[in-house]
Structure 1
Amino acid sequence: MPSRIGVLTSGGDAQGMNAAVRAIVRAAIHRGAEVFAIREGWLGAVEGGANIARMGWSDVSGILNKGGTIIGTARCVAFRDEGGRRRAVRNLIQQGIDHVIVIGGDGSLTGSALLRAEWPAHVEQLLGSGDITPEQAESHPVLHIVGLVGSIDNDMVGTDMTIGTDSALHRITEAIDAISSTAESHQRTFIVEVMGRNCGYLALMSAVAGGADYAFLPEVPPRDGWEDRLVELLARGRAAGRRDSIVIVAEGAADRHGSPITAQGIQQAIAERTGEAARITILGHVQRGGRPSAYDRWMATACGVEAVNQILAAEADTEPVLVGVRRDAVAWQPLLEAVDETRGIADHIRNGNYLQAVQARGAGFTTMIDIYRGITEAKASKEERAGAKRIAIMNAGALAPGMNQLARVAVRSGIDMGYQVFAIQGGVPGLVEGKFSQWSWSDVEGMAHTGGADIGTRRYVPQDTDLYAMARQLEEHRIDALLVMGGFHAYATVRMLESERRRYPAFDIPIAVVPASIDNNLPGWPMAVGADTALNTVVDAIDMVRMSASASRRAFIVETMGRGCGFLPLVGGIAAGAEKSYLPELGITLSELEEDIAALVDAFDTGRNFYLAVIGEDASEHYTTDVLRRLFEAEGGGKFTVRQSVIGHMQQGGTPSPFDRINATRLAHNAMVHLDKQLAGGTAHYSAASREAPGLFAPFRDVTDQMDWDKQRPREQWWMNLRPVFLQLSRRPGQQ
């Protein structure tokens, strides 16, 4: 008898749960297992009957773009009682289920671990009462549990991101962006309350992404007198040129005496001290709603597949595990260890151990608090010294969403450190022509949520004839260090400067380069600024394409950008539920197309109404998007129509995603810290962003040794590890 796996979603819903359910069902079927949905969480297990239903391949078609959970969730009071848990054991065993994948928060996962510990005792009692047979008792002696964290709060230790967090940040930043425009029009203060009882992740990261003035976090209660401090900071922001003020408060925020800090309390404090009637927006369950983001789709998909791998490999003495992500790779750890560490943070907050609470959230959380304070104070922590050194910043290469946030944070971080910061307008040609301008704190106001690149950029690598002019301009403007932000052209430019620094002493200064490219084709850093926004654009476009085809039998071929790099077509294909993805790394062969056409025709012959293929723009010189469309339509024999959609430069436009804003903040600040250390130490190294390096920057040559310069992509691409996930979920077993 094949293994039977139960899957349930429990506790509060989170965007991306459906992606995990889909992945679990299809990966299990590929492994020869049977999958049963336990509807309405543990309540469905307690009540049994129709609440435990077998799931097939097609049962999870078309659910990737849906919020919530199609198998339902509920809080189950009966499951807290031993008798209720025993009924759940009986119902599961009667269905032949002793493997359960639980998607929920720490409460749901704790209850699941408790059930596993009690399982043998329940089996013994059910056998004695005649509710199960001796054969059933012998066949199901142990319950195997694997957990996935579905929680918008990102409050679980053991995974970098929980399912639903990124989508919730999308909802929050969209609201802050909209509020900012009306607040700016009327010079008003808005107070925005976000979710997060014991975790300030949403409040902190949405404040960073939205360019808010102040944030109240459960882990960092303000000291007494916070009301005056808040008003002072808001006044400094207005004096620095802000027309609006945004304050973010987590629902679980409190002062150091444990008294709640509410939106109404903040409003009253501002009114008493300034006479201003601040407006309140409580986002509430809007944060849980809407379509899941691209990240929540592909991340939940990859975790769902790994959950199946883990549960089918479990043995009698295997402890429950939690599957999550660390550094963009699927990872797992003991479930009870993760739950205990998570609950320990709430204890730290309750006991006033705030430093321990922050540290338990991880180094990234701690660092982002410090960065946020530095770029929102509207007052430099170091006064600009007479004859202060000068740091220039410039973009190079194609436009990437998030470049403005890079510039904003670089300017403010540099000023905060006591430097003069100059922007070079128009990329490399601007450097050649000497288009330098000094930027102040207020010059970058409002840039956090804007697309484009206000200081300009050009897809241009300097020629030998440009080098003298570039060196002369750096000398004339007395530039002591340079930050270059961009894609392949930025790295190629810095590579050229490094090779010529002996000929041109002006190039013998500290230079740092950070990745900003929708193609995500750069070494050293897993996600270039702009790549996540482009990925969301791809997924949004495919969602609309899918809807346009809902009333007909149609196949679509969607072309993404990416040049020689397959990040967008592969990860976009996973997030959008494509049946096929054509990558430049692998090319396209005629034999492959023959197999794909057979699968395409078979899909429509067996009841499909929609088929999706995603292709990278440089996947093949000969088998282009139009050629594929013609081939598919010719072989379809009129059974379906085929359309193509080239997304094009929309992938470079639009408002940067929260992830790209946060990523840009981290990169730009750390780049300025790195340049500051070099200037203080009298060194002049060339460096590039590197996740593996202390301080997140490594020698430029060490990073670019990982670059395939001819193909314009890294030699090792982490997302190619997701291809087996794609292959498992895109074509059902037995399909031609």
Structure 2
Amino acid sequence: MTSGGDAQGMNAAVRAIVRAGIHKGAEVFAIREGWQGAIEGGDHIVHLGWSDVSGILNKGGTVIGTARSTEFRTPEGQLKAVENLIARGIDRLIVIGGDGSLTGSRALLLRWPDYVAQLLEQGRISREQAERHPRLFIAGLVGSIDNDMVGTDMTIGTDSAMHRITEAIDAISSTAESHRRTFIVEVMGRRCGYLALMTAIAGGADYTFLPESPPREGWEDRMVEVLGRGRAAGRRDSIIVVAEGAADREGEPITSQRIQQVMKDRTGEEARITILGHVQRGGTPSAYDRWMATACGVEAVDQVLSAKADAEPVLVGVKRDQVCAQPLLKAVEDTTKVADFIASGDYEDAVKARGAGFTRMIDIYRILIESTPTVATSEHAKRIAIMHAGALAPGMNQLARVAVRAGLDRGYHMMAVQGGVPGLVAGEMREVLWSDVEGMANTGGATFGTRRYVPTEGDLYQMARSLEENEIDALLVMGGHHAYATVDIMERERRRYPAFNIPIALLPASIDNNLPAWPMAVGSDTALNTVVDVIDMVRMSASASKRAFVVETMGRGCGFLPLVGGLAAGAEKAYTPEGGITLEELTQDVAALVDSFASGRSFYLTVMGEETSEFYTSDVVAKLFEAEGRGTYSVRQAVIGHMQQGGTPSPFDRINATRLAFMAIANLDSQLSEGRKDYVAAASDEPELMAPLRRVLAGMDWDVQRPREQWWTALRPVFDQLSRRPGQE
């Protein structure tokens, strides 16, 4: 069932649960309209088959309906729900909802034996039914755009909501800049400021208000001062993001109207208000919400079907993009503590309870909203250079923007290498100031330039000379495979070239997501969303005819885009470089394709990576599929190409870039202060997110240009389960 408020991605979870359950040999039912449907029974509890969940992956909301039920809070309502569930033979339940729905579900689990005994005594169920269903097993998935559940990094719907909000902020910024106006954007979040905080960072907003971190007394003057400094520094617009549950330290709500009145009283400006409301919960789910909800749905099925008699209900979520399960009670209790901290005025603990990542992002945000560095850079301050390297990735500009501002805020001179590694070889470098990176948060491309280039033996001397002539004390390199290869060479040549004996930090930025130690390289989420968007349009183009599509993605030797993109888009087949293609496999796939159309299908989707096979290219596969169809269907090829590298970076990539750049500068600052000269690279398993370069590169398979271990390959069994019904070859 889906219960409480709706969230984008719920349909992906429903689809995954139905199909995974069928694969496990279980009967799967949908309880329509949440717990209210369980109470009413009858047509509200319906059996679902494989095809019943076809075509719902890209739909927002929930096709089985949701509702908030006051009747379920009463013993009489719960008793009716138990009776109706037992009548259908249901004692294993997967609930997709918020903390209220999950808390209520757990309460029912605890009272289930008493209700069974009561129903038996009243003659409403038979003794056989009572013996067959002595207890209830529950797995919970959090469907909430607020991301307000402790215990999972992201809740279903949050990423999609951030897409809606960020798109709105980007659009509002354009008109605000044209008219030199201030806009106040109100977003959802009664008790959680995640959406407000993260979208303020992703959208480059000037100020934000969060429930967990109320402003101190005098916030009105502080806000006006910050906005005024921004205007004085050349900004033409001001964007304020406020969570609907924001309040001051006396508990008085800080509403959009209150902020508007403050601006009018202190500046005379009539700020415009935009309340996004339910737009945030609507629309097509993002790629992340599709694949994450799908993977969690499959795990939830495993949890309820394998649960032992004394099993506690579990919450299924994600940690560092890995699906995980934990006790539901603890997650709910930890979440409730946040509200308790806020109510008691313990705001520091409220922020800490959200996790270290939330705390860190608040600190980063406070730096980014300033119009100038908080410290003055002296003439003799040390210099940190930043450089892109390798292929373009969306989010590179946000990496540069945050790195420049974080470095300036620590008192360093910040230098930008123009044009990547060739620019370093040629000595093309310039100093960049706070205002030089204004407005770069939401732009694609790489303003400072980048190139796919690995230095040759002859280039190393010139690179060293450029670093010496520009008096560079530390270097931050951001990019893909070419960036990692370049820094690897520089470390190996440190003895020959003393100029390389400086602190160097390396950050992953690649749509291929083929770099070790970091689960999602900057740019990979944007590329994934492009793949899914294109497939959605391809699917619609084929709605009027029987047609198969072979979609080719980028990715080089890494299958992240075709596999995860195919999973998020509902593909029937995904070919990856890791698995390759054999003639035997193609023969089986052609048979499955022909059988699908013969069985009434009108669309069939295959996704493959650009370097999956030297011989069986997407063109060859498309022609083979069509030849074997003998006119019963048509086949089209779609090569997505460089669209995957372009476009506006997704909120995920902007936030990812923000965190990485800030922590890299913090590491370089620490090294320069302590006199160390280490080479480090991003590593998600480190508290400070940076690890020795050698340890990170030990996880790289240079021959195939991808990590030795790739977390997303665990999604292959999930893909295979959901793409073909049981018994289909």
Q: TM-score range by the shorter chain?
A: over 0.9
SS in 2 for 1:254: coil
Is contact 1:15-1:292 (8 Å) kept? yes
Please point out which of 206, 209, 218 is paired with 1:225: 218
Partners of 1:241 and 1:391 in 2: how far apart?
25
Aligned positions of 1:403-422 closer than 5 A? 403-422=396-415
Residue in 1 aligned with 2:83? 90
Distance 1:598 1:86 in 2: 50
Number of residues of Structure 1 aligned to a counterpart in Structure 2: 729
| Partner secondary structure for residue 695 of structure 1 | coil
Q: Is the 8 A contact 1:533 1:657 kept in 2?
A: yes
**Corresponding letter in the other structure for 1:153:** D
Identify which of 195, 201, 205 aligns with 1:212. Answer: 205
Matched, 1:151 2:151: no
**8 Å contact 1:16–1:300 — kept in the other structure?**
yes
Q: Which stretch has the larger CA shift, 378-387 or 121-130?
A: 378-387
Structure 2: how far apart are the matches of 1:145 and 1:467?
60
- 2:458 is equivalent to residue 465 of structure 1: yes
Identical pairs, percent = 74
1:113 is matched with 106
Question: Who is 1:5 aligned against?
Answer: none
1:388 aligns with 2:414: no
Q: Residue 264 of structure 2 corresponds to which residue in structure 1?
A: 271
One-letter amino acid of the structure 2 residue matched with residue 90 of structure 1:
E
Q: What amino acid is aligned across from residue 420 of structure 1 in structure 2?
A: H
Match of 1:191 in 2: 184
1:526, 1:480 → 2: CA distance? 29
Code of the residue aligned with 2:124 in structure 1: it is: D
Q: CA deviation at 1:522?
A: 0.4
Partner of 1:49: 42
Deviation at 1:607, TM superposition (A): 1.3
Tell me the equivalent position of 1:564.
Answer: 557
Aligned residue in 2 for 1:342: 335
> Per-residue deviation at 1:183?
0.4
CA distance in 1, matches of 2:108, 2:693: 53
Counterpart code for 1:407: A
Match of 1:617 in 2: 610
RMSD: 0.7
Give distance in 1, aligned partners of 2:698 and 2:114.
Answer: 59
Kindly indicate whether the alpha-carbon contact (under 8 Å) linking 2:170 and 2:442 is maintained by their aligned counterparts in 1.
Answer: yes
- Tell me the CA shift for residue 93 of structure 1: 0.6
1:471 partner SS = helix
Contact 1:241/1:445, CA 8 A, preserved across alignment? no
Is residue 507–residue 681 contact of structure 2 (8 Å, CA) maintained in 1?
A: yes
AA paired with 1:702?
R
Structure 1 residue 663 displacement after superposition = 0.2
Structure-2 separation of matches of 1:720 and 1:23: 18
Q: Specify which of 450, 454, 476 is matched with residue 483 of structure 1.
A: 476
**Alignment partner of 1:74 out of 57, 67, 71:** 67
Task: Supply the distance in 2 between the matched residues of 1:489 and 1:236 (Cα, whole angstroms).
Answer: 40
Secondary structure of the corresponding residue to residue 675 of structure 1: helix
Q: Is the 8 A contact 1:208 1:662 kept in 2?
A: yes
Post-superposition shift, 1:383? 2.0
- Residue of structure 1 in register with 2:424 after alignment: 431
Shift of residue 549, structure 1, vs aligned partner: 0.4
Unaligned runs of 5+ in 2: none
Residues of 1 paired with 2:307 and 2:711: CA distance? 27
- The amino acid across from 1:134 in the alignment is R
1:521·1:713 contact (CA, 8 Å) conserved in 2?
yes
After superposition, what is the alpha-carbon deviation per residue over 1:154-179, rounded to whole angstroms, capped at 9, x for unaligned? 00011010000000000000000000
Report the 3-state secondary structure (helix = DSSP H, G, I; strand = E; otherwise coil) of the residue aligned with 2:28: strand
Measured after TM superposition, the shift of residue 692 of structure 1 is 1.7
Query: Aligned equivalents of 2:275 and 2:686: distance in 1?
Result: 40
Residue of structure 1 in register with 2:672 after alignment: 679
Determine which of 2, 8, 27 is the counterpart of 1:15.
8
Shift of 1:694: 3.5
User: CA contact under 8 A between 1:240 and 1:441: conserved in structure 2?
Assistant: no
> What letter corresponds to residue 319 of structure 1 in structure 2?
E
How far apart are the structure 2 equivalents of 1:256 and 1:422?
A: 41
**How far apart, CA to CA, are the structure 1 residues paired with 2:528 and 2:160?**
14
> Structure 1 residue 200 and structure 2 residue 193: aligned?
yes
Q: Which runs of 5+ in 1 are unaligned?
A: 1-7
* C-alpha deviation, 1:386, in angstroms: 3.3
Corresponding residue to 2:622 among 621, 629, 636: 629
Instruction: Show the counterpart of 1:3.
Output: none
The aligned residue for residue 729 of structure 1 is 722
Query: Could you tell me the TM-score, scaled by structure 1's length?
Result: 0.98
Q: CA deviation at 1:325?
A: 0.4
SS of the residue 1:9 aligns to = coil
In structure 1, the partner of 2:232 is 239
Counterpart selection for 2:356 from 358, 363, 367:
363
The answer to whether the aligner puts 1:29 opposite 2:44 as a matched pair is no
Offset at residue 382 of structure 1 (A): 2.5
Partner of 1:655: 648
- Counterpart of 1:457, as a letter, is T
576, 581, 587: which one aligns with 1:583: 576
Q: Amino acid of the residue matched to residue 707 of structure 2?
A: P
Q: Return the offset for 1:278.
A: 0.6
Q: CA deviation at 1:437?
A: 1.0
Runs of 4 or more off by more than 4 Å in structure 1?
A: none
Deviations 1:249-278 (A, max 9, x none): 000000000000000000100111110111
Contact 1:411 1:444 in 2 (8 A): yes
Q: Distance in 1 between matches of 2:372 and 2:51?
A: 58
SS in 2 for 1:584: coil
User: What is the CA distance between 1:488 and its match in structure 2?
Assistant: 0.3
SS at 1:398 equivalent: coil
2:159–2:289: 8 Å Cα contact kept in structure 1? Answer: yes
Give the aligned partner of residue 137 of structure 1: 130
In 1, Cα distance between equivalents of 2:282 and 2:722: 25
Q: Which amino acid aligns with 1:337?
A: K
8 Å CA contact 2:211, 2:342 repeated in 1: yes
Residue number in structure 1 paired with 2:31:
38
Match in the other structure for 1:520: 513
8 A contact 2:96–2:141 mirrored in 1: yes
Deviation per CA, 1:210-229: give whole Å up to 9, x if none. Answer: 00011100000000110000
